[in-house]
Amino acid sequence: MAKEIRFNAFVVNRPVHQSPGLWRHPRDRSTSYQDLGYWVELARTLERGRFDTVFLADGIGVNDVYGGGIEAALRHGSQVPTNDPILLIPAMAHATRDLGFAVTGNLSFEQPYLFARRLSTLDQLTRGRLAWNIVTGKSAAGAKGLGRSIVAHDRRYDIADEFMEVVYKLWEGSWEDDAVLWDREAGIFADPAKVHRVRHDGEHYRLDAIHLTEPSPQRTPLLFQAGGSQRGRQFAARHAEGIFLAAPTKTVAGAVVRDVRRRAAENGRDPAELLFFPLVTVITGETEREAKAKLADYQSYISHEGALVLFSGWTGIDLAGRDPDEVLRFEDRDNGVVSTIEAFTTADPNRSWTLREIARHAGIGGQGPVIVGSPTQVADELQSWVEEVGADGFNLAYAVAPDSYVDFVDLVVPELQSRGAYKRDYAPGTLREKLYGPGRAQLSAPHPAAAFRHLPAEDAA
């Protein structure tokens, strides 16, 4: 029996995501990002294709590394402007029944008290279909916008560990399951003895309050994480349920999967329960020839400078004015995404990347590979990633929106279903139950969140 593959649609609330320049394509509608109808239509397409989630990326701050300013980013629309993704979820949830929603939340720029309320509210409104993509924030421009300074890479994860402890206490430890009574005869909404004050006095956060909302269906939303550095992997092994990989090759992705699973076992967790989702972009057609024709068409719209703007922003390395045939080296790194620099330098000793190659690669699909072919060829390649890398599913970026997803749903999904490698319908329950099975709506031991559940007030402190 083939392993069932899972899919997230990797999108962002802005006109340019992973394929700079493709917004100019006559069939692309990503510039309709301000139209709520565009997002509702996309959600319905994804649910028709039985996608697990729509994965909403986000970024705080403009890419200002390339050339030392924002001019190139604005000229190419390279991930600017960026609207708030969280506001899209209620409308898309109302238009669907089972599709999940993974929203990026940057804990470097959030306060846990209000952030926990926001996500609990969304988990309630979606009937338990919410996931949180945990990021720690590397944008100096974003930090300046909030009147702060960017924190060093590993230190951000130290702060993140404490942030997680605080939100776990709020989500899991403040309200007991039977605290809410709605006793109309007695006139009692909740039993005060079963609502506990959370006290936290840490290095970075202080709190003395109850959680502002009653428990949502999942309490803690499903937890995604996207950090592939050594410190990021350590964080993922402790906290994450789903892990997003942005790797250009199977060699790079497979090494991360094996390492994080090993670390998870060292943390007492079942390594098989960590779900890995490499980033890929699929370009398909009825035939291989049709798919290749689409690729050639799309490539004619690539903004190579726009791609380097993105890569500079991801890595913190200013690539403006450099020789396009220069090989990128790990020593070039700055305070960017360490895992991205590693993926294109040291992670695969048999592969080096010139800046020209990086620009062409990142021009469609960002850091992940582009899979081009007929539905049969695409399905073969996706299954090879599952078998060789240990992937559980994929984050699907788009070249042209929404056509890339419509093509995938209409052509590749039926092929995978015929092989027994993709679901024909959603499982019932919350998003966590859809992924892990009935009775798994909430986190359980040995996940650290479970340690804070339903504690008496003095223990929660």
pLDDT at residue 2 tops 60 = yes
> Which pTM value belongs to this model?
0.92
The H-or-E segment that residue 114 falls in is helix 112-125
- Locate 260 and state its tokens: 């994080």
pLDDT at residue 154 tops 90 = no
pLDDT at residue 79 tops 60 = yes
Which pLDDT score is estimated for 333?
54
- Asked whether the beta carbons of 85 and 115 are under 8 A apart, the reply is no
Instruction: Tell me the pLDDT band of 458, cut-offs 50, 70 and 90.
Output: very low
User: Which residue has better confidence, 52 or 311?
Assistant: 52
Interatomic CA distance for residues 325 and 433, integer angstroms: 49
Q: Are strands 242-245 and 275-284 parallel, antiparallel or unpaired?
A: parallel
pLDDT at residue 105 tops 70 = yes
Interatomic CA distance for residues 219 and 417, integer angstroms: 32
pLDDT at residue 350 tops 80 = no
Which pLDDT score is estimated for 460?
41
